Chains A and B, each alone.
Chain A
Amino acid sequence: MELSQRERLSQLVEELSTSGQPQLDQQKVKELKKICRVSSDCIDHVYHSVMSQLSQDHAEIRLSAFQIASELFGRSHHFRTLLVDNFQEFLELTVETDVEQPLPPPKEVARKLRSLAIQTIQSWQSSYGSAYKKLDLGYHFLRQVKKVDFQDAEARTVSERRREEERQRRMERIYKARVEAAAKDMEESYQDMEAALTEMESCMKLLFPDFGLSDLHAVSGRPAGDEEPCCSSGLNRQDPDGRPDPRDKSGSERGPSGGDAERSHAERSHGDKRSGGERSNAERSHAERSGAEQDHRDKRSGGEREEDQGGAAGEEEEGGTKAEMEEDGERAEESSEEEDDEDSFIRNSGLISHTYSLDVSLSPVLRVKETEDNEAVVSTVMELHRLISTKHLPAVQGWVQVFTKSHAEPQLLRRALSLRRSLEAALQKHQELHIDCKTRVRRVMKASSDGEEEDDDDEFEEVPEKEGYEPHIPEHLRAEYGLDPSPSTSTAALTPKKAPASRPPAPPLPSTSSSSSRQLKRLIEEEQDPTCAAATLRVLRQKIPLLAESSSSSSTAGPASCQSGSEQKAAEAPVVPFGLDLYYWGQEQPNAGKIIKSASQHQFWVPAEVEEEVENQDLLAQSKSRFISFPGSFVPVSHFCRAPLGNGTLCQRQDRVKCPFHGPIIPRDQEGRPCREEDRRREEQEERRKREQEPDWRDGDLMRDIEAATGEDLGSSRVGGKKRKGKKKKYPNLSDLKQSSNTSRSRLEKKVFNKSTMRRVAQVLSKADSRKHDKFSNQFNYALN
């Protein structure tokens, strides 16, 4: 055999076996076979190189080498004899017959190699078994001693199979237990869920009754009935209510007041202003009630009107429209009263002109607004929603998962699925309703006060919500809060008196009078509404004090200004704690800074002459001076470090003087280069020095490893450019076995179990031990060890 052939063969085998591919390169295999055909010497050589590759500690190399061997095994008798002669070793290297020599990593490839080898050996046995005794023996050895099942595609040994079965059985048992538990669970909570669903359903119905066409007809056909008066009948109906007009007028004299209801609220809130002799409480309550009635009726009539005009507006959700209707009705009513009291038509109808155009805006989505009427229902719905979404639905989902995973009876699964579907449908419906709910906590509180409202026995006062700090406490409430009737002077002395903060334009706070929360809320709402009389009132009230204030300030401008000037000074003067220096302010201190040592009082023993008085400058200074630390005020840093970073951006740190990464902050231009020449020079120098002494963590190998692991560029190519050439990986296609071994644990181990470290530790320990021996060797329990 020629040398070139030999070399070519070695090269081919090495290339093929270190390709790292699961399949061989057919081109190269062909070339290999072609060379092998020349002589049996070539085959000898190939056999030896293949065997040496097979004994490499890398499963990918072994796999490829095995594939080469199986390619040649079918072609060459000589190769067969050679291989079969050394079949023991071959089996050890490929099928892992020796427990002491497991297949090398990576594991996946090793498993593949094993199964491939077993399959191949079986096919060899069937075709060459009779001719090659040892192959036959090896096959039988595998089958009978190693108990390899050649039919099994997985090519597992008995113990592996048993383990697998065991695992499967265990899983089955677990699944069965889970299914049982889930089924039981379902049995138990099925009732609950059904109940929740029905409840939800009925709540929905209450909130949003199904309007069919028939319903619409029924509504529009109703106007004849006295309960649901149409526009005209509403006019007629209003007459009896309009009768207490004189009383109304007396109310309207005090100020522009809107509807009865609003007025009554206003009256309540301004209880002090009320010229209360005219009416008894009973009367007022009656008026209120009648006003409410009227209001309600107005609403109804408005609703009717709307339905008449809107035609198919019946589809509109009831609660949603109600709010709008209310507004419309009120607007109409108010405008009528403001325009002309005498105009009976307007008064009676609440319409200013006969040519109204009413725009009804229908929101495209359903919207349920929470009102007092449906409050209970809404809260129930909310609770149910929460229950379903947090408890029932996850539970059902868990069951479905368990059932599908463990292939339970389809019946159970179907049941769970239908349950889930209905639950999800309920949730979906809830979402479609867009229930506009307020914060629940408040609702609950209100609900309790709502109950009280009916008897109205002044037992509980409605206190407005306060968020901790109250900026203003009404005068009459100070006693209750445990405060002095007037603001204390002490605080005023310390803090320069400010002009009393203008009160927030909040509605007049409800006083001790017993106003229900509902009324309060209504009041606030109405004040927000620019069309309400209450709002106008508020505006007026705000205007008047302003006028008064301005006049007063203009008249007392001179004294006020000078007063304020002194006040300003007082405010600027620092407040210092009282000290010794203040005590002796402006006085001469004869004994200041002197330490007086008393002479000894002893009878016989007289000490040497001592100076009785010692002057101490420090002490003197202390009694006359005072340290006032002046921290200044905080000025936020407005500049950036702007040193160029590795990724092309500029450093965004805002340090006052010095950036911890880039040193003192110096002016830099757009690209982050220093503006001054000397800075630039210094920076370059720094750079050069840094490059020379790379810190050890920037070790090229380590970084390359990390890069390989994370797939991110850490710049290892920049770091160790020179080193890399020498240490180029020999076979780049093979998967790296060392990569896994380079774990944090191994690195730590390298450090901890370092020889010198161990020696040091042992030294310390033995020293401690020997010390113990020295000290306590005469005591038996220390002497023993």
Chain B
Amino acid sequence: MLGFLSARQAGLDDPLRLRRAESTRRVLSLKLNPDRDVERIHGNGINAIDIDAAEGRYMLSGGADGVIVIYDLDNHSGKQQYTCKAVRTVGSRHVHRFSVESVQWYPYDTGMFVSSSFDKTMKVWDTETLKPAEVFEFEGNVYSHHLSPIARKHSLIAVGTKNPKIQLCDLKSGSRIHVLQGHRAEVLSVRWSPRYEYILATASADSKVNVWDVRRASGSLFTLDQHNGEKSKASSQAVNTAHNGRVNGLCFTSDGLFLLTTGTDDRMRLWNSANGENTLVNYGKVCNESRKRLQFTVSRGCSPEFVFVPCGSSVAVYALHTGKLVTMLRGHYNNVDCCEFHPDYQGAASLPAGNPAFQDNWSSDED
């Protein structure tokens, strides 16, 4: 660390180097933060969390009781011991009636966030007033939605519902403008590529993962095939499947070059997002019994990247490209549904060893 610092001071090193080395070190020594605590608001389990990309300060959480809470993660008290305060709580008139399935900040601003719920609605909230600015209603339960983190030319929200058709909602017009057809069962997870703003990946219960270019209306770009086209040709089944069960987790790497999927066949697969090729990395058994979306994440800015996957009551950390199990983060007492990685908790003064960017000291327990 000190060597890296002095080299950086001398200008010998690329700034990225220090950053990478430090991040990697911290991820590897990740453990429960004894000083940081999060205020307990939710009475039931927590289905989704999101940390705002603009400041990295506020965290959204959606609970199974329909409540959405905004936390302030920054510690300005000057003491080591800190409990993250709940800044605002959406629990009144406009609250979701059923369990909140996914929440997401607007990528460029904390003035707005989007939540979707099993009450068949997706709400766009104004953070200031905590009132829904827009409500989209659907025919079925909403499993997942996603806003493209890099989109500059569009402001589309992809929504996966019980309906196999993927809905695209436009924030500009406040209407559903597009439907993507191709799945045969409910869509459990949708993700925009962080590299190309029109590329969308969707995972469905029919064990298929489709990659779309939303500019093309005719159909998906390709469907991920776990056998890379070898076996499916032989077995006269033209259907390409990504997993042997429901595919309920979907995550791009931070550079957008790779796509990770998890399925209920207890597997996790890494795909080349450019051509949809299975990279055949073996992660071993990744316990996964969720019937809903599984929110997992990939580290950002480490030199070998890491995957954080909820696995029973603990979170498994894998090396992305080797598939090696690095560690199991054990701190929860019940099933973990979601985890999020804090990309830039860097202030050396405020951070003790063992970066809790990994929001794990939260008891996101499902009862």
Contacts and interface: CB of A to CB of B under 8 A. Distances in A.
Contact of A141 (B33, B330, B333): B333
Contacts of B55: none
B56 interface: no
Given A141-B365, A145-B365, A97 B333 contact: yes
Contact of B334 (A85, A86, A131, A145): A145
A88 B365 contact: no
B40 A144 contact: yes
A138 interface: yes
Contacts of B32: 133-134, 137
A146 to B, nearest CB: 9
A133 B361 contact: yes
B313 interface: yes
Contacts of B330: 85-86, 88
A719 interface: no
A482 to B, nearest CB: 95
A144 B39 CA distance: 13
A141 B334 contact: yes
Majority SS at the chain A contact face: helix
B99 interface: no
A274 interface: no
A289 interface: no
A88 B330 CA distance: 8
A46 to B, nearest CB: 21
A546 B331 CA distance: 117
Select the residue from B33, B313, B333, B361 with max chain A CB neighbours within 10 A. B333
Nearest to A141: B333
A137 B331 contact: yes
Select the residue from A97, A140, A145 with max chain B CB neighbours within 10 A. A145
A86 B330 CA distance: 8
Nearest to A132: B34
B34 A138 contact: no
Contacts of A86: 330
Contacts of A133: 32-34, 331, 361
B367 interface: yes
Contact of B363 (A85, A97, A131, A137): A137
Contacts of B333: 88, 91, 97, 137-138, 141, 145
A140 B334 CA distance: 12
A754 to B, nearest CB: 36
B66 to A, nearest CB: 18
A686 to B, nearest CB: 66
A125 B93 CA distance: 38
Majority SS at the chain B contact face: loop
Nearest to A84: B32
B313 A88 contact: yes
Contacts of A145: 333-334, 363, 365, 367
Interface in B308-367: 313, 330-334, 361, 363, 365, 367
Contacts of A97: 333
Interface string B212-255: 00000000000000000000000000000000000000000000
A140 B362 CA distance: 12
A108 to B, nearest CB: 27
Contacts of B363: 137, 140-141, 145
B328 to A, nearest CB: 11
Contacts of A91: 333
A117 to B, nearest CB: 14
A573 B332 CA distance: 107
B256 to A, nearest CB: 35
Contacts of B332: 88, 137
A689 B285 CA distance: 62
Nearest to B366: A145
Interface string A126-157: 00000111100110110011000000000000
A144 B333 CA distance: 12
A17 B367 CA distance: 33
A92 B332 CA distance: 13
A128 to B, nearest CB: 12
Contacts of B34: 131-133
Contacts of B365: 141, 145
A131 B35 CA distance: 10
B237 to A, nearest CB: 34
A134 B332 CA distance: 8
A676 to B, nearest CB: 80
Contacts of B313: 88
A137 B33 CA distance: 12
A424 to B, nearest CB: 61
Nearest to B36: A133
Interface in A51-88: 85-86, 88
Interface string A613-647: 00000000000000000000000000000000000
Given A88-B313, A145-B334, 5 more contacts: A85-B330, A132-B34, A133-B34, A133-B331, A140-B363
16 contacts: A86-B330, A88-B330, A97-B333, A131-B34, A132-B34, A133-B32, A133-B33, A133-B361, A134-B32, A137-B331, A137-B332, A137-B333, A141-B334, A144-B40, A145-B334, A145-B367
Interface of A: 85-86, 88, 91, 97, 131-134, 137-138, 140-141, 144-145
Closest 9 CB pairs of A and B: A141-B333, A133-B34, A133-B32, A145-B367, A145-B365, A88-B333, A88-B313, A134-B331, A134-B32
